[in-house]
């Protein structure tokens, strides 16, 4: 069930980049390019091929105007169209640099900008292709370009320095692209995972709201049911023996049953209801009950009595998720141990399965870190996993004040949950 809920809030189906963002960034680039060309040509006295330079800039401006006319402000481009626009920006910059010194021009570092935008907004494949396009342009510009104009005469840059600029720019494209993509991808994964957690919490809150509605309905129905019961009892006394008397008796019995059901519903939100507060053993029995019918023995080790905590839906869901995982991968049995002292309450969930893979053990609990691909063969299960179930369980348990740790025991995986005793005993349901 956790994976089914997680799948509803998993990755967004496509990367989309807002066109208005690209247009605004391009206008900024156009303004900067125009300003630089005019200042260098007229202010510094360096002779540039002014008309070709302004023509290249004008092409970019014309594309911006065309996009503004063809698409609304709210348009979001898919991966292909966004990649084409960023590819155009790379080629436009390459054409402008070819007219103004190639890699000798300090503005050659602007090749990083389109690749950076792609890395933070688009999938890896188009980002790689754009990086390769920029690399090709940088390589061509290192050899083929018009000389960089200098006031007072020509200035020759040593070939070794050009090679250094080419290497630095090429490495920068790769490093910045990979770094930006990793950071953005982690942010996207965390955002999607938090959305899945919010979905789980909303589901639990919806259940609590239904409990409240049921209690209110039970309270409102109590008076008419009492009246029906009273009338049924009077009819039962007045009607002579026969089929009709049996029907009236059945009616009274059903009314009594309805009253019992209403009383149970009314108790759902009472602070002194038996299920509102429970010992840790009873809480674990409540968690384990749905998982006892899957052919895996589940043993709970807990001394009688113990601390009493509130029936917190988040704690029940989080523990249930971890127990479900243990049952999925166990060979024959799952052991759940509960221990406590004056300061701490500890629950340890162990299974006799293959354990956690060492390469992901340190990252368990992060979003989209799953062990199912590795543990599936050993546990003989075909259930797919998105890596959100453990993240959601860990998040919900930590919201209740617990600390969650993962390790491999002597026979399989081991999950340890620790609460400060005060946090466990006063966890609100």
Over residues 154-183, the pLDDT tens digits come to 667 788 888 998 999 999 998 988 888 888
Q: What are phi and psi of 410, to 5 degrees?
A: -70, -30
- Band of residue 372 on the pLDDT scale cut at 50, 70, 90: low
At 307, which CATH number? 3.30.565.10
Residues 25 and 150 in one domain: yes
Residues 33 and 174 in one domain: yes
**Of 333, 351, 358, 368, which is closest to residue 414 (Cα–Cα)?**
351
Residues 285 and 347 in one domain: yes
Residues 313 and 179 in one domain: no
> Among 269, 298, 327, where does a domain finish?
269
Q: How many domains does the chain have?
A: 3
Residues 319 and 418 in one domain: yes
Report the pLDDT value the prediction gives residue 355, as an integer from 0 to 100: 84
Residues 252 and 347 in one domain: no
Is a pLDDT exceeding 70 seen at residue 70? yes
Residues 220 and 238 in one domain: yes
| Total-model pTM | 0.52
> Among 173, 198, 223, where does a domain finish?
198
Residues 108 and 132 in one domain: yes
**Of 182, 260, 181, 249, which is closest to residue 218 (Cα–Cα)?**
260
Is a pLDDT exceeding 70 seen at residue 7? no
**What percent of the chain has a predicted confidence (pLDDT) above 70?**
78
Sheet holding 297-301, edge to edge: 297-301, 333-340, 344-351, 413-420, 403-408
Report the pLDDT value the prediction gives residue 89, as an integer from 0 to 100: 94
**Is the Cα dihedral 74, 184, 94, 132 positive or negative?**
negative
| Rounded distance between C-alpha atoms, residue 184 and residue 178, angstroms | 10
Long-range pairs, 39-46, Cβ under 8 A, ≥24? 40/100, 40/149, 44/151, 45/151, 46/149, 46/150, 46/151
**Of 272, 270, 253, 271, which is closest to residue 218 (Cα–Cα)?**
270
Residues 216 and 302 in one domain: no
The residue segments making up the domain with residue 9 are 2-198
Report the pLDDT value the prediction gives residue 264, as an integer from 0 to 100: 60
Report the pLDDT value the prediction gives residue 411, as an integer from 0 to 100: 80
């Amino acid at each position: 069930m956790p994976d089914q809920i997680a799948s509803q809030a998993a990755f967004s189906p496509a990367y989309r980049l807002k066109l208005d963002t690209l247009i605004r960034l391009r206008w900024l680039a156009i303004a900067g390019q125009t300003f630089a060309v005019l200042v260098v040509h007229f202010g510094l006295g360096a002779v540039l091929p002014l008309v070709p330079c302004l023509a290249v800039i004008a092409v970019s401006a014309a594309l911006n105007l065309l996009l503004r006319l063809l698409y609304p402000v709210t348009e979001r481009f898919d991966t292909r169209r966004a990649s084409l626009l960023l590819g155009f920006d790379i080629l436009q910059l390459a054409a402008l640099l070819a007219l103004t010194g190639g890699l000798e021009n300090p503005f050659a570092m602007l090749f990083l900008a389109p690749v950076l935008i792609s890395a933070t907004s688009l999938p890896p494949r188009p980002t790689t292709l754009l990086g390769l396009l920029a690399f090709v342009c940088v390589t061509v510009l290192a050899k083929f370009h018009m000389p960089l104009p200098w006031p007072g005469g020509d200035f020759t840059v040593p070939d070794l320095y050009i090679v250094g600029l080419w290497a630095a720019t090429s490495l920068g494209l790769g490093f910045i692209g990979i770094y930006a993509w990793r950071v953005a991808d982690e942010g996207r994964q965390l955002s999607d995972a938090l959305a899945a957690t919010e979905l789980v919490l909303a589901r639990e809150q919806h259940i609590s709201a239904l409990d409240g509605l049921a209690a209110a309905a039970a309270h409102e129905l109590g008076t008419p049911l009492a009246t029906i019961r009273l009338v049924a009892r009077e009819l039962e006394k007045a009607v002579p023996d026969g089929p009709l008397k049996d029907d009236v008796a059945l009616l009274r019995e059903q009314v009594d049953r309805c009253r019992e059901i209403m009383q149970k519903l009314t108790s759902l939100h009472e602070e002194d209801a038996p299920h509102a507060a429970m010992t840790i053993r009873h809480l674990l029995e409540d968690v384990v009950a749905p998982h006892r019918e899957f052919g895996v023995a589940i043993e709970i080790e807990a001394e009688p009595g113990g601390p009493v905590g509130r029936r917190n839906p988040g704690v029940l869901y989080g523990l249930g998720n971890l127990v479900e995982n243990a049952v999925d991968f166990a060979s024959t049995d799952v052991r759940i141990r509960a221990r406590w002292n004056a300061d701490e309450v500890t629950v340890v969930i162990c299974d006799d399965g293959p354990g956690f893979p060492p390469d992901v053990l340190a990252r368990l609990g992060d979003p989209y870190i799953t062990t199912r691909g590795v543990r599936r063969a050993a546990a003989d299960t075909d259930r797919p996993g998105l890596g959100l179930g453990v993240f959601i369980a860990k998040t919900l348990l930590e919201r209740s004040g617990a600390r969650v740790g993962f390790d491999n025991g002597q026979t399989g995986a081991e999950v340890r949950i620790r609460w400060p005793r005060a946090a466990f005993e006063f966890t609100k349901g």
